Amino acid sequence: MNRLLIRAPYLVLVLLFMALGCTKARAQQMDTLFVKGPVNDELSNYYTWFKDGSNKLSPGAVLDSLKAGKFKGNHGVHSFNQGFTKSSYWLAIYVKNDTTVRLPVLWSFYNNNISFSLYEVNQAKNSLAYLGSASSMDPLSKRPFPVRSTSFRIVLQPHQSKLLLVKAQTINADNIYFPTDITTVADYLQWETRYSFLIGKYIGYFMFALVFNILLWFALKNRIHLWHAAYVFTLIGFNLNEFLFDSFTFPDWLYRLWVLLPKSLFLLLPVYLSFNIFQLFVNQKQEYPVFYKLFGGYKILAVIVLVIVLLNAFLLPFDNAFVSIGRQTAYYLSFAGIILLGINIIAGIIRRHYYTILYSISTVFLLLAFLDFILNALRVGQLFFISPGNITVAFTFEILALTVIFVFKYKNEKNNSIHALNETVTLRNNWTTEIIKVQESERERIARDLHDDVGATLSTLKLHLSNTPAKPRNKKEAADYERTMELINKITDDVRSISHDLLPHDFIDDGLFFSLQNRVDALNYHGKIKFQLVTEGDETMADHTTAIIIYRIINELISNITKHSDASEASVQLALLDTCIQIIIEDNGIGMNNVTNKSGIGLRNIAKRVEFLNGQMHIDSSKKGSTFIITIPVFKINQANDFT
C-alpha cells in the first residue's frame, strides 16, 4: 500500500503526459499551413471550425472542444459562410514558419460588421493566450494592422509552429460570411496595391457616371437621369462598403457614423431606385398598369423598411431583436423586389415590348448578381463569381448600357417629336391654306355681289332719283333731295371702296401688278399722299392665292399710311425674284403708333399673312417716317401653289 502511495505521483505524471500527447496528436490531425512566402492555397484546406450556438462558451471550453475533436473541416471553399445565424464561430489552424528567418504574417478577414478575436494556444501550459480583437467598426487608427481588412499581425520565428484560434461574431449584421487568408506581410501589401488600383478604377467610373447623369438631368430636365444619378450614388456607397474601402474614404468621425449603416440598407436602396428608373423608362403606368400598382405598393413598403432600418442603426443597439428583424426584412424585401422586377421584365419580353427588352439587356446580369449575393447570404449557394465581384462588374455593365440606352431613347423620342411636330406644322399649314382659300373665295363673292348687285342697285336708284320730273316745291324739299343724292353718292362710293378693298373687280383678269397700279392711281387721284409704285419680275410665278395675299398685305400697309402717317409721299416696291419675293414700302410721315410691336389689328393681320408665307417682316418707324421690308421665300410660294 505504501509503495502504491509512493508511486502515485509518478502515475499521475504519466497519465497527464499521455493526455497531452493525445491532445497534440488530435490537434495535429489538422493540416499544417507551411509559410515560406506568398500563400496561394485556399485557407479552408487547413483550418477547422466550431459553432458556439449559445454564444457563451469560454475560450477554455472551446479549447476543450478542439481537443475532443469537435471542430469540423471545410475544405476547398474560398469563404467561410454560415448564412443567417446568431451563433459565434471559432476557427483553428496550425501555422509553421518554413524558413530560417523571422517571418511576419497576416491573418486577414474580408468582411465588415463581424468582430474577430485572436488567441494562441500555449501547448506547454495547455491554455489560450488572448492576442487581441478587431473589426471593421474600428477606424484605421484603432486597428491592429491599419489596412482595409480586419488583419492580425503574427510573428513566426524560424521553423516555429503556432496553433491559432479566432472567434467570429456578428455586430450590426445577421449572417456570418467572410473570405479569409494567411500570407506574408509583403505579399499582402503587394496584392492590396494591385487590388486597390483595380477597385479605384471601378469607383472612378461610377463617379464619372454620377456626374454625367447629373449633367444630363440639368440639360434635359428628364427625371430618369436624376433617379439614375441617385442610383449610381448608392452603388458607390455599396462598393465602398462591400470592398471595405470606406475606411480609407472617410475621416474617423464620419466613418464611425458610416459603419452604423447595415449592409442590407445598401441592397434595398438600389432596388428601390431601380424600380423608379424602370417605371419611367418603360412607361409602366400605361404599359403595365397591374405591375404599376404592385410596384407602387412595394415602393411604399420599401420606404417604410428603409426608414426603420436607418433609424434603428442610430437609435438602438446592434443586438436588439427589433433591429435584427429590420435588417433581415430588408434582405428578404430586396430579394422579393428583384423577383418582382424580373417577372415584369419577362412579361415585357413575352409581349415584345421594345423598351422592356432594351432594359432587360442592361439589367439581366445585375439581377443575376444580386440574386447570387442574396442566395449566398442565405447560404443557399453561389451561382457564379467574376473578379473583383459579381455585383461590381454587373453594376459597371448596367450603368454603361443604361446610359447608352437612355441617350438612344432620348434621340429616338426627339426624332419622333420632330416628326410629329412637322406633321402638326404641315397639317396646320394645310388648314391655314384652306381657311385662307375659303376666306378669299368668300371675299370674292362678297366683292362681286357688292359690285354687281348692290352697286348696280344703287346706280339705278341714283339714276331714278335724278330723272324725277317733279320739281321741289320749297327749299326744304330741295335740301332733302340734295341730301338724299349725297347719301346715295356716299353709299355708292363706300360700296365701291369696300368692294375694291375686298378684291379688285378685274383682279383675276388684270393680275397683281395692274391691280396694284389701279389702286395707287386711285389713291393719287383722290388722296393727299402721292404714292409711287415700282414692280419687278414675273408676276406669273406667284399663284392666285399667293398673289391675293400679297395684294392684301400691300393694301393694308397703304391703308395704314393713309390713315396714320401724315405723310406727303410714299413708295411701294414689289420684286418677284428667283429666290424670294420682296416688298418695300416707305413714307416720309411722322411714324405710326404701335408699329414696332405689331399691336395694331391691321399689322397683326399682315404679320399672320407673312407668317403663313413663311416670310419675315422688318419695321422701322420713327418721326422721320416708316419703312416696311417683307421677304418671302420662293419655296413657300411653290408650297402655297401646291396647296391651291
Is residue 11 situated within a structural domain? no
- Judge if 188 and 209 occupy the same domain: no
Is residue 8 situated within a structural domain? no
- Judge if 418 and 301 occupy the same domain: no
Cα 553 from Cα 604, distance rounded (Å) = 11
Is residue 427 situated within a structural domain? yes
Is residue 10 situated within a structural domain? no
CATH classification of the domain holding 26: 2.60.40.2380
Give me the pLDDT at residue 5, please: 40
Give me the pLDDT at residue 419, please: 85
Please write the tens of the pLDDT for every residue from 491-510: 777 777 776 666 666 677 77
- Judge if 121 and 265 occupy the same domain: no
Count of residues in the chain: 644
- Judge if 255 and 359 occupy the same domain: yes
**Beta partners for residue 582, in sequence order:** 575, 631
- Judge if 93 and 125 occupy the same domain: yes
Residue 383 has phi, psi (to 5 degrees) of: -75, -45
- Judge if 356 and 219 occupy the same domain: yes
Please tell me the total count of domains within the chain: 4
pTM for the structure as a whole: 0.66
Give me the pLDDT at residue 27, please: 42
468: domain range?
410-503
- Judge if 187 and 287 occupy the same domain: no
- Judge if 470 and 564 occupy the same domain: no
For 272, the enclosing helix (H) or strand (E) is: helix 263-282
Which of the listed residues 167, 192, 217 is the one where a domain comes to its end?
A: 192
Give me the pLDDT at residue 274, please: 92
Cα 165 from Cα 221, distance rounded (Å) = 58
Cα 79 from Cα 86, distance rounded (Å) = 18
- Judge if 181 and 42 occupy the same domain: yes
Give me the pLDDT at residue 464, please: 67
Which of the listed residues 468, 485, 503 is the one where a domain comes to its end?
A: 503
Cα 582 from Cα 166, distance rounded (Å) = 94
- Judge if 134 and 182 occupy the same domain: yes
Sheet holding 175-184, edge to edge: 79-84, 175-184, 103-109, 150-156
Spatial contact of 178 and 114, defined as CB atoms under 8 Å apart: yes
Give me the pLDDT at residue 22, please: 43
Please write the tens of the pLDDT for every residue from 380-419: 666 767 777 777 888 888 888 888 888 787 788 788 888 8
CATH classification of the domain holding 623: 3.30.565.10
* Low-confidence stretches of the chain (pLDDT beneath 50): 1-28, 596-597, 636-637, 639-640, 642-644
Spatial contact of 500 and 519, defined as CB atoms under 8 Å apart: yes
Which of the listed residues 503, 519, 542 is the one where a domain comes to its end?
A: 503
Is residue 309 situated within a structural domain? yes
Who contacts 361 (Cβ-Cβ below 8 Å, separation ≥6)? 401, 405
Is residue 7 situated within a structural domain? no
- Judge if 254 and 337 occupy the same domain: yes
Spatial contact of 179 and 110, defined as CB atoms under 8 Å apart: yes
Give me the pLDDT at residue 16, please: 42
Is residue 490 situated within a structural domain? yes
Give me the pLDDT at residue 289, please: 94
- Judge if 583 and 639 occupy the same domain: yes
Give me the pLDDT at residue 11, please: 45
Is residue 497 situated within a structural domain? yes
Spatial contact of 604 and 594, defined as CB atoms under 8 Å apart: no
Cα 608 from Cα 612, distance rounded (Å) = 6
Give me the pLDDT at residue 370, please: 74
